[in-house]
Structure 1
């Protein structure tokens, strides 16, 4: 296997191009026929339903009546190091060499899933985003993307020299601490990882359940729900006070972390909340709690008030970002060193 340079990749991938967004629970795929075509999207497949990405593609995704891909760019939920890429919250291990052999590909690029979300933000239309609160996005300024899902993804998108540079990271694992008397009552009941509470311990699906159980424990009441979706449904239906408080505090804590990331990236181009959870709890995020926590950053509250925040409503934003890169890689300063494989 040879490892091409970034200049090689900027010259263009071989069409048709397979694009894929591999999350902790589901995998989404599409196929781009040529540089002028929109991607053809395939049905979503659960990662737990197949032993490997190769099995999923060959038996559950790629139809026999379509041209087979010649190259692929895949976004995965986890850091990319070496020839074996385990997913942070799923059982698959992505092995690009195996993909090349199984699908007869000319090249495979693997990037972080929130790099793909960041790529999507560069071209996101107003129809595919819902604004939360005030502030106005400045053209060609840095952005940041956060996504509570199976975990908490974070990525930046920096603009310089007429080019968009996605900045991956593991921002979802920053510390999250109590600030109010109510926080201090709840915090001792939260499930911790090696003695600390990270953003991801609260701001994801299992984190929502972690928060709900801690609220119930703090109040000496039994927890009624065992699934994050049940908590969300009860909260939005105003059917359970503990569930309602859970969703309010979830929005508050997400606002705190989003505001922190806005300052880290000086994201005058906007802060974007991506993923299915943000879409499902949009009514709660449009309430006062998220934005109040987002702006509560003295001595920089005025700065935060000027930065807009949005929920990404595009149904397949990561695939949209991968498609934008695949069709015009010269627009993006995407680092592919150590993340691209060829036969």
Structure 2
């Protein structure tokens, strides 16, 4: 852990979870206060993140934050941080001057999700199938939204250590005869079908269109919401299959992560789009895809799989870190700016 990660942040602290489509903010007045929440922000409504924070947060409170801990949907690299699925660019040094802050820590948005699952209460998660959680064992989290976020969480030296990455961009391949029929019709990136090409909002559209082409049908939907709505209709077989396969493929990728991290502490599925899909999905298919990992199917039966039901889990994780940074092995070198 870096020396910076041991710093006690100065209150009040602004915390923010900034995705490709939505940004959510709150302020912690002190280590014991509950976060003061603000209305969700649509990233498309503001030209810059500075403008969004000023308008949606600072102009609506008399509390002036001294510090900020921001989770961003994209890799943190340098003094100009581009979000993967949003035109916003975070410039921490400029933000310190513009918004009157003393320090900023920026982390990956799924590091924040990993922080959250370090102590997610039972009423904020739903188990899918069996398995027994082992306390202190590694965990993993993934979440389909505008993109596909992935992170790990490992326990060492009495600290939870989040492991960030771009795991949503790993290759994903066909497994069944139906998959083999659909795969040639999927839109690729330079010939690759990554997890994010299927398991996110635009990925659901990609999958739906590929199913239509496979069956010689003309696609009629061009938005994820229309596909999820169509999946409730008996007359829209492509939408129903798209949602069903989305669940199976997500289960498979969750199983891959379980093996990568040997996540006996559980694999957690988060993300807004999954919450909307949940009423239409068959949990047994999600679990079946998760356990379909020969020759390790028996091992997979022992690993719990959870759906995160707390819609603001990332902010919960950020708040936990902001209150007690020393309890987390969060590397902040190159991601911590001061006035």
Fold shared by both chains (TM-score > 0.5) = yes
Match of 1:189 among 181, 185, 190: 185
Following TM superposition, by how much is the alpha carbon of 1:162 offset from its aligned partner in structure 2, in angstroms?
1.4
Following TM superposition, by how much is the alpha carbon of 1:285 offset from its aligned partner in structure 2, in angstroms?
4.3
The answer (yes or no) to whether the contact 1:282–1:311 under 8 Å persists in 2 is no
CA distance in 2, matches of 1:36, 1:102: 28
The answer (yes or no) to whether the contact 1:189–1:218 under 8 Å persists in 2 is yes
CA distance in 2, matches of 1:107, 1:236: 48
Cross-structure match for 2:112: 116
Matched, 1:229 2:225: yes
**Unpaired segments of 5 or more residues in structure 2?**
none
220-229 or 327-336: bigger deviation: 220-229
CA distance in 2, matches of 1:73, 1:164: 17
Match of 2:167 among 145, 148, 171: 171
Matches within 5 A, 1:141-152: 141-152=137-148
Matched, 1:80 2:76: yes
Deviations 1:272-311 (Å, cap 9, x if unpaired)? 0011112112234443211111101111101111111111
CA distance in 1, matches of 2:280, 2:56: 36
3-state secondary structure, aligned to 1:319? helix
Q: CA separation of 1:237/1:10 partners in 2, compared to 1, >3 Å: closer, same or farther?
A: farther
Cross-structure match for 2:268: 272
Cross-structure match for 1:160: 156
Q: CA separation of 1:238/1:319 partners in 2, compared to 1, >3 Å: closer, same or farther?
A: farther
The answer (yes or no) to whether the contact 1:236–1:244 under 8 Å persists in 2 is yes
CA distance in 2, matches of 1:272, 1:65: 34
Cross-structure match for 2:286: 290
The answer (yes or no) to whether the contact 2:38–2:56 under 8 Å persists in 1 is no
The answer (yes or no) to whether the contact 1:132–1:285 under 8 Å persists in 2 is no
Match of 1:14 among 10, 14, 17: 10
TM-score normalised to structure 1 length: 0.96
3-state secondary structure, aligned to 1:279? helix
Deviations 1:114-164 (Å, cap 9, x if unpaired)? 000000001111111111111121111110000000010000000122110
3-state secondary structure, aligned to 1:262? helix
3-state secondary structure, aligned to 1:294? helix
Following TM superposition, by how much is the alpha carbon of 1:224 offset from its aligned partner in structure 2, in angstroms?
1.8
Matches within 5 A, 1:41-80: 41-80=37-76
Matched, 1:217 2:213: yes
**Unpaired segments of 5 or more residues in structure 1?**
none
Matched, 1:253 2:249: yes
CA distance in 1, matches of 2:296, 2:72: 34
The answer (yes or no) to whether the contact 1:251–1:284 under 8 Å persists in 2 is no
Matched, 1:37 2:37: no
CA distance in 1, matches of 2:305, 2:281: 10
Matched, 1:125 2:115: no
RMSD, aligned α-carbons: 1.2
The answer (yes or no) to whether the contact 2:172–2:194 under 8 Å persists in 1 is yes
Q: CA separation of 1:236/1:126 partners in 2, compared to 1, >3 Å: closer, same or farther?
A: farther
The answer (yes or no) to whether the contact 1:147–1:278 under 8 Å persists in 2 is yes
Cross-structure match for 1:99: 95
Q: CA separation of 1:159/1:237 partners in 2, compared to 1, >3 Å: closer, same or farther?
A: farther
CA distance in 2, matches of 1:238, 1:292: 24
TM-score normalised to structure 2 length: 0.97
